[in-house]
Amino acid sequence: MRWGARGGSVWTRGRVIAAAAVLTAGLLVFHRAVPNSVGRAGSLLESFLPWLGVVVVVLFAAALLRRSATALSALLLPVTAWTCLFGGLFLPEPRAGARDLVVVQHNVSDENTDPAGTARALADAGADLIALEELVPAALPVYERMLTRRYPYHEVRGTVGLWSRHPLTGARLLDIKPRGITEPWSRGLRAVVRSPHGDIAAYVAHLPSVRVGPGGLASANRDESARLLGRALDAEELDPVILLGDLNGTVDDRGLAPLTSSMDVAERGFALSFPAALPLARIDQVMARSAAVRHLRTLPETGSDHLPVAARITLDRSARPERQA
C-alpha cells in the first residue's frame, strides 16, 4: 500500500514521528514519573504541560508531509491524552447560580506606574472579593481610596490584601516565609468573609518566585512556602475555604501538591496569566474547598506584568467537583 510518495509505504514511513508522538503521550500521562532530583525537571515540565499540545500540532504537520499512516495513528495517543487533561477547560462558563461568588485575584506589581487605573479596572469587574499582591507602601493608599466605595471592608498584611463587599473578621498574618529568606517578608493573610451565604475562610498568598536557569528550575523556596500554606489550610476548621494568590506555579506543578491535594481547582477556563504581554502559564490561582471553582478567566491587562484572573465559585457543597489529576 502506497500514498504516492517515495521512501516506502504509508505504514513504514514516519516511524520517528510516531515514536515522538508516543513519547509525548507518555509525558502527558506520566508526567509525575519524570524525576525532580535533577534541576526539578518534573516541575519544569509540569509548568508548561499544556504546551505539549503545540508539539502534537507540529508532529501532525510532519506526519502529513511524510504521508505516514503510522505517525497519524500514533498521534491519536497524545491527542486523546491532551484532550482528557485540558479539553474540559475550554467548555463555556456555566450559568450563574444563587449561591455563586465572584472573586478577582491580581498581582498588581510593585513596579506598577498606574495603581489608580489598575484599581478602577478591578473594581469594574463587579467581584465580591478582590485579592491583591505586591502592595507597596507608596501605592497602598491609592488602592484603598479607589476601592473603598465599592469594597468597604479590607485587610492588608505585609504586601498582600483582601477587599470585600461583605464584612471581614478574624484577619491575621499567615506565616508562609521559607527559612532561606532572611529579609523582612510577609505575604500571607487569612480572614473570615461574612457572606450572605455563610462564613467563608479566605486565604491570600504570594509564594516565592521561581527561576529557570542552566541548572533547571529553582523552586526550593516556593515549594517550602507551599508546604507551609498547605499545613495552614489543612488545619483550617471553617468551611468553605477560598485560596487566592500568585502561587508562582501551575496547578499541574507537583510543587503545589500540598495545595492541590486538598483544594479543588477550576473546572473550566484556561486563563493564562503570566507574563501579561505574552501569557505562557497560569500562576495566579483561585482554589476552593467545600465549594466549586466553576470558571476562571483573565481580565484585560493593567499596569502589572500579570493579568488579573476572575473566578466564579459555587458555595453549594454538593457542587464540589471531582479532583483533577
Residues 48 and 104 placed together within one structural domain of the fold = no
Quote the number of domains for the chain: 2
pLDDT single digits (tens) 116-125? 999 999 999 9
Residues 28 and 170 placed together within one structural domain of the fold = no
In a domain, 252, yes or no: yes
Residues 38 and 144 placed together within one structural domain of the fold = no
In a domain, 95, yes or no: no
Amino acid 291: pLDDT: 96
Q: Give the residue from 90, 123, 138 where a domain finishes.
A: 90
Residues 83 and 146 placed together within one structural domain of the fold = no
Total count of residues recorded for the chain:
325
Amino acid 188: pLDDT: 98
Neighbours of 325 (CB within 10 A): 10
Residues 31 and 123 placed together within one structural domain of the fold = no
Q: What angle do CA 70, 75, 78 make, to 5 degrees?
A: 150
265 backbone dihedrals φ, ψ, rounded to 5°: -110, 180
Residues 303 and 175 placed together within one structural domain of the fold = yes
In a domain, 2, yes or no: no
Residues 86 and 201 placed together within one structural domain of the fold = no
The Cα–Cα gap between 124 and 310 comes to 12
Residues 315 and 186 placed together within one structural domain of the fold = yes
Q: Which helix (H) or strand (E) holds 217?
A: strand 216-218
pLDDT band at 323 (very low <50, low <70, confident <90, very high): very low
> Is-cis flag, bond preceding 240, omega within 30?
yes
In a domain, 1, yes or no: no
Strands 100-107 and 129-133: parallel
Domain of residue 53 covers 15-90
Residues 296 and 204 placed together within one structural domain of the fold = yes
Classified as helix, coil or strand, 106 is strand
Residues 167 and 296 placed together within one structural domain of the fold = yes
In a domain, 3, yes or no: no
Name residue 129's beta-bridge partners. Answer: 103, 164
In a domain, 10, yes or no: no
Q: Give the residue from 90, 113, 146 where a domain finishes.
A: 90
pLDDT single digits (tens) 241-278? 999 999 999 999 999 999 999 999 998 999 999 999 99
Residues 77 and 137 placed together within one structural domain of the fold = no
Give me the percent of the chain exceeding a pLDDT of 90.
Answer: 85
Amino acid 239: pLDDT: 96
In a domain, 86, yes or no: yes
Q: Which three cell numbers stand for residue 298?
A: 483573565
The rounded Cα 55 to chain-centroid distance in angstroms is: 22
pLDDT single digits (tens) 3-50? 444 567 777 788 999 999 999 999 999 999 999 988 899 999 999 999
Q: Give the residue from 34, 67, 90 where a domain finishes.
A: 90
Residues 200 and 230 placed together within one structural domain of the fold = yes
pLDDT single digits (tens) 124-171? 999 999 999 999 999 999 999 999 999 999 999 999 999 999 999 999
Provide the CATH number for the domain around residue 244. 3.60.10.10
In a domain, 4, yes or no: no
